[in-house]
Structure 1
């Protein structure tokens, strides 16, 4: 049955709003980072970059909670109120515990990141509280498909960081002010989430299958899967520092700017598709359509990077990195493969698979082993693209088979995949 034109128009508008919001968020975040590098100088920026890297690692907990909330709400529409109440309560408790643990570990963080400043370590430790709170809130909005509210949520995650953070480092150009700006910026999406979710519905009946304990177990599993993906998408720059000289490692890092652009550009597709991938009746259609959408964007970007490489070089470092220009299309292809892999990883989370995660671990090991044999920028990026492409094909075949054959899974169970 064909959906009415009004419904199709609304879905298109919703998708467009999320796409615009995530793009603005990423641009604002990138903009603040670039401004900070210029304003606070290399040494202070090094400390900021270390703090931001730590927050990226800590973010897997928030993303794990987000995936749990979105999946359960999408699968069990009859218990939305109970799931919402439980996940928001669990998120609050987890965020507070994480904040306390991080504060206790301040001296360790200070030493690990070589900050020489306990205040900076304390500020970045406290950032985990709003970061985690935002994860649970975003999951509820995503699962309920409240795309308009989620778009505002994402905008609040980027624009305030740019405005507040830049203001602070102009006032005091050091890493402490920059980290404070990032932490304060994290409060804005939490405020948006609190406002749109302030009127919680009272559950009609108890839903023991959606207990806080079962949600915590699922969130830990989700965080572990996402951590492996982040490691898979980042390990090559570490490999570059070991197998290439400083000059070539710098060229590789410049090429990875193109890769990261292609990884984050279709992020909105993953956000919108995830609730549908969690529903057995729409899982296959959502996965296929989303893979095709990311693939089309990727083909266009790869072609542009090949044909307009000179223009692309403006965004990856300029003439100083000219030696990598001929490989920009390969880095764009890598980013496209990673974006499709990210979708597949979320498909794994949507069906709560377990065995499929071992494939991601295997690919990570393969990249490390094979990457150690690379002796040039071209050899390393080709190796990484090849391993990731094989993983993508295997996961896609497995996902399509499971989407066709597997019965709807019980929510709290541990399932094979």
Structure 2
């Protein structure tokens, strides 16, 4: 394959992965819209809270995917199926143990929805293994297909269950069945790998910690705004956080494509600056739109009910852009086995919580300003650590 053909293939892969991720996220959004119209407010609140727990519950799958992709890229492990099954079993077991807690905290009328949630965690965690196998071997077109299939299985199953049963239990039953179908297809697509002894879960748990901290940073300011700001202002802030997530998710395909190249130090040092520049370039568009449209962007997103808003939107776009850079730097440090990055992420979480709750929570601008500063500082710290590590690697 010529250099030109390789670059064309990479562009096609980037487009396919981007479209698959976008469709997956759009499907989740569509599920929320449909559920809000079909369910009573109390039932919709129950389903939304359970789905939010599911988002946290699949964080180990992200860690499993990252570890698997790096090991495949290095061709350093043959026990990956055992690793995936062990991780999935641990996550599902923890889900079962937490069933009584979920029933109590979320005020569920039955144990069944929480049990279905635990049953869903196993397949979705194992799915991270198959995504990692394809990502590490750079089979990005097939990976894009499985990402799209995941969206169809989870969201489609949830919608079917919701339409049949008309409640959160039916929706979660559909999610569980759809996820099981997707993971079965993924196992076949990846060549029906068999488990062998020698699973090492410690690295997955460490990576999952870092991923959890990143997930918290993406959503933390919204929770803090809900806790500290008046309800109406918190509602506007929730719309602004959509801009944050757009900026964060827009360059997601970049991380998927470059992670296997981070497995080797020399390749990482060459590819990392390019990946950061591509992310910055994509998010520059989001930031420019937010600057030009200003508060009018909230009207476009949320409707005429927000036409009188004067809240600046560009800080949300800036925060999401910084989060996208942090994710790329996180991948680079995890690939190098650097555990300091996890400490940096959790330090940023703690600082943001303390500063907002104890001091700067008088307006939406203060809350998002703290978030932007924490994430920006984290990006600078990650870049400094990477530069120091690269300097030692050349020495």
Shorter-chain TM range is: over 0.9
Distance across 2 between alignment mates of 1:221 and 1:324: 42
Task: Provide the rounded CA distance (Å) in 2 between the counterparts of 1:382 and 1:101.
Answer: 36
- Quote how far apart the aligned CAs of 1:104 are: 4.0
Cα 1:316/1:114, change in 2 over 3 Å: farther
TM-superposition CA deviations, 1:175-203 (whole Å, max 9, x none): 11222232233224312321112254999
Counterpart of 1:5 in structure 2 is: 4
CA 1:380 to 1:275, structure 2 compared with 1: closer, same or farther past 3 Å?
A: same
Q: How far apart in 1 are the matches of 2:193 and 2:216?
A: 37
Aligned to 1:414: none
Q: For the residues of structure 2 that align with 1:254 and 1:233, how far apart are their CA atoms? A: 14
> Once the 2 structures are TM-superposed, how far is the Cα of residue 302 of structure 1 from its aligned partner?
1.2
Aligned partner of 1:25 in structure 2 is 24
Structure 2 unpaired stretches of 5+: none
1:282 aligned partner: 267
TM-score norm. by structure 1 comes to: 0.88
Hey, what does 1:328 align to over in structure 2?
313
User: 1:106–1:122: 8 Å Cα contact kept in structure 2?
Assistant: yes
Structure 1 segment 254-265 matched on structure 2, within 5 A: 254-265=239-250
* Cα shift at 1:51: 0.9
Task: Tell me if the contact between 1:258 and 1:316 (Cα under 8 Å) persists in the aligned partners.
Answer: no
Structure 2 equivalent of residue 269 of structure 1: 254
CA contact (8 A) 1:61 1:223 kept: yes
- C-alpha change, 1:127 and 1:381, in structure 2 (3 Å) is same
Instruction: Calculate the aligned-residue CA RMSD, in Å.
Output: 2.4
| Contact 1:331–1:381 (Cα < 8 Å) also in 2 | yes
Correspondence list, 1:386-397, <5 A: 386-397=373-384
Normalising by structure 2, we get a TM-score of 0.92
**Which of residues 109, 116, 127 in structure 1 aligns to 2:120?**
127
Deviation at 1:315, TM superposition (A): 5.3
Residues 199 and 116 of structure 1: CA distance in aligned 2, closer, same or farther (over 3 Å): closer
**Corresponding position: 1:228 with 2:213:** yes
**Residues 351, 247 of structure 1: alpha-carbon distance in 2 compared, 3 angstrom cutoff:** same
Q: Matches of residues 32-71 of structure 1 in structure 2 within 5 Å?
A: 32-71=31-70
Q: Equivalents in 2 of 1:180, 1:324: separation in Å?
A: 40
Q: Secondary structure at the match of 2:138?
A: coil
1:397 Cα deviation from its structure 2 partner: 2.3
Residues 252 and 324 of structure 1 are in contact (CA less than 8 Å); yes or no, is this contact kept in structure 2? no
Residue aligning to 2:327: 342
Q: Within the alignment, does 1:371 sit opposite 2:356 as a pair?
A: yes
Distance 2:299 2:181 in 1: 32
Q: How many residues align?
A: 393
For 1:265 and 1:141, the matched residues in 2 are separated by 21
201 and 365 in structure 1: CA distance in 2 versus 1, 3 angstrom threshold: closer
Please say which of residues 140-149 and 347-356 is displaced more in the overlay.
347-356
- SS of 1:124 mapped into structure 2: helix
TM-aligned CA distance change 1:388 to 1:92, over 3 Å: same
State how far apart, in whole Å, the 2-side matches of 1:194 and 1:331 are. 39
1:108 aligns with 2:101: yes
Shift of 1:301: 0.8
Change in CA separation of 1:321 and 1:41 when aligned onto 2, cut-off 3 Å: farther
- In structure 2, the CA distance between the partners of 1:262 and 1:240, relative to structure 1 (3 Å rule), is same
Structure 1 unaligned regions, length at least 5: 204-209, 409-417
Q: Which moved more, 1:136-145 or 1:321-330?
A: 321-330
Distance 1:220 1:236 in 2: 25
2:385 to 398, 406, 417: 398
Deviation at 1:124, TM superposition (A): 0.6
CA–CA separation in structure 1 for the residues paired with 2:394 and 2:109: 55
Per the alignment, residue 287 of structure 2 pairs with 302
Shift of 1:16: 1.8
Q: CA deviation at 1:348?
A: 2.0
List per-residue Cα deviations over 1:272-310 (Å, max 9, x = no partner). Answer: 111112211210222111111111111111111222347
